[in-house]
Amino acid sequence: MLVAYVDDCILINPKEQRDLHTKFVQDFNATYEITDKGDISLHLGVNYFRDRAWGILHCNQSKYIASLLEKFRMENCNPVSTQLPPNVKTYKATAED
C-alpha cells in the first residue's frame, strides 16, 4: 500500500513482500528523487511506534496536541476527566433545542 500526501509517502507491506517493496522503491527512484528514511516514526503530525514482537503499530498525536496547548498558552493547564458515565443514552438535537 502506498499512502501519499503531496510529497510525503509511506509504503506499507507485509514482510513476505519485501522483495516487491525493494523493486518498487528502485523503480520509483528511477523516475523521482526519493529518500528512504527507514521505519516511520512521525508523519503529518502523527507519531508511530511499532512493537514488532507483538505485531502492533501504535499511533498518537501527542506532539501535535502539545503544540496546540503551547500555541494557546495552555501547556500548564490541569487535565480533567470528562467521561460520561456508562450506559448514558444520548439523543440527537432537534430544531427546537
Per-residue pLDDT of the chain (97 residues; tens, 9 = 90+): 777 767 778 888 777 888 888 888 889 889 988 887 888 888 888 899 988 888 888 999 998 889 999 999 999 988 887 777 888 888 888 888 7
Distance CA 8, CA 43 (A): 8
Query: What is the model's pLDDT at position 5?
Result: 67
Query: What is the model's pLDDT at position 68?
Result: 92
Query: What is the model's pLDDT at position 73?
Result: 94
Q: Return the half-sphere exposure (C-beta side, CA atoms, 13 A cut-off) of residue 18.
A: 2
Q: Cell 440527537 sits at which residue? A: 92
Distance CA 74, CA 64 (A): 13
One DSSP character per residue, 56-73 reads: EEEEE-HHHHHHHHHHTT
